[in-house]
Each structure stands twice: as C-alpha cells, then as structure tokens.
Amino acid sequence: MNFCGQCGKPVNFKIPAGDNRKRHVCDHCDTIHYQNPRVISGCIPTVDDRVLLCRRAIEPRYGMWTLPAGFLENGETVLQGALRECREEALATLNEPKLSGIYDIPHINQVYILYRGALQNEDFGTGEESLEARLFSETDIPWAALAFPVITTALKHHFADLKQGLSTVHTDIITSRLYSLHKTTD
C-alpha cells in the first residue's frame, strides 16, 4: 500500500502507538490501515462414500480439482458463504451441513472453513467457475491433480473419519512447505 484510502496521501509502514505490529499508517490523517486474513468458506458435498469435486475454470490452478469453496463475502455467515459457493460452482445443495474443519494458512493470510453434508439429491452440474463436477470415491480422487494442499488435507481427514464412523471437526495449519511441494510447473 502506497497511499491512504481516506485522504490519498502517502502512507508509512510502521508500528503505530499502542500496537505491536507494523501497519500502513497515514501520517497526514492518522488512519491506520489494518489488513486481516481472508476467509474461504466451502463444502465437502457427499453421496454415500463419494465426494463431489469441481475442476477449476479459473486461475489460480486452472483445470485442477477442488472442493466448491471461495472467498466469504461481506454480509454473509460462513455457512451461507459455503452453501453459496457450492451452488455457484457445482449447482448443488447440501442437507444438514455440519462443520468439518478449520484450516489456517498463515503464509498466505487465509483461513479455510469447510462444512460437510450429503447432497440434497444427486442433481449437480457445472457452474461458471467450473469446467466439470464429478463424484469421486477415495480411490478415484485425482490426488496429484488437486488444486491446493488444504483440499488434500481436508479430503484425507474426511475419508479417515468416514472409515471410523466419526464426525470430527478438524483443525490444521497448512505450511508453506506443503505449498512449495504442491506447486505445478508450466
């Protein structure tokens, strides 16, 4: 950030009085510009032992598989955002969604909050941000073609719970090491 969003004057990156972190601060109007993590909400839609995945029609990771998820919008709850993303990306609706996991990704300032639930019916399709939507059993998941490490982690948690008959709420920290191992080369 170079300029203040309030008055347009240049900002400095410094620790404001009474704080303990560097922030973008306008010395002209004294506005402190806080930057906070982005919340991604999404779903693990299921039919029996299968999970609905979408193949991305947008960057980043165009053509790779993911769960229906996206940035939470202002004015909606996390659950509302997750269900909206499921409708937008897979034209799908869940019955009785339950919290499945909260995944911190501090090196890119993101928090994923995922819900799991059975598809209301087996009607699903391809939204504007998806090339394809398909149900996969654990053995058929295209593990090497998953878009993000957090999706791999969430699916592994889901299938482990399924095998044990559990309904656990998982938490995990996804490290930059996992992201560097997951990068694709073009």
What is the pTM for the complete model shown?
0.88
User: Could you read off the pLDDT of 62-88 as tens digits, one per residue?
Assistant: 999 999 999 999 999 999 999 999 999
Over range 100-125, report the average pLDDT.
96
Angstrom distance (rounded) from CA 150 to CA 152 = 5
pLDDT at 182 over 70: no
User: Could you read off the pLDDT of 39-51 as tens digits, one per residue?
Assistant: 999 999 999 999 9
Question: Does domain 38-182 sit in CATH 3.90.79.10?
Answer: yes
**At CA 50, angle to CA 68 and CA 59, rounded to 5?**
25
pLDDT at residue 122, rounded to an integer:
86
Q: Which residue has the tokens 């947008």?
A: 58
User: Could you read off the pLDDT of 1-26 as tens digits, one per residue?
Assistant: 999 999 999 999 999 999 999 999 99
Instruction: For residue 176, name the pLDDT band (cuts at 50, 70, 90).
Output: confident
| CATH of region 1-35 | 2.20.70.10
Where is 133: in which H helix or E strand? strand 130-136
Q: Where are the domains of the chain?
A: 1-35, 38-182
- Measured CA to CA in angstroms, residue 135 lies from 17, 50, 55, 89, 123 at distances of 53, 6, 11, 14, 11
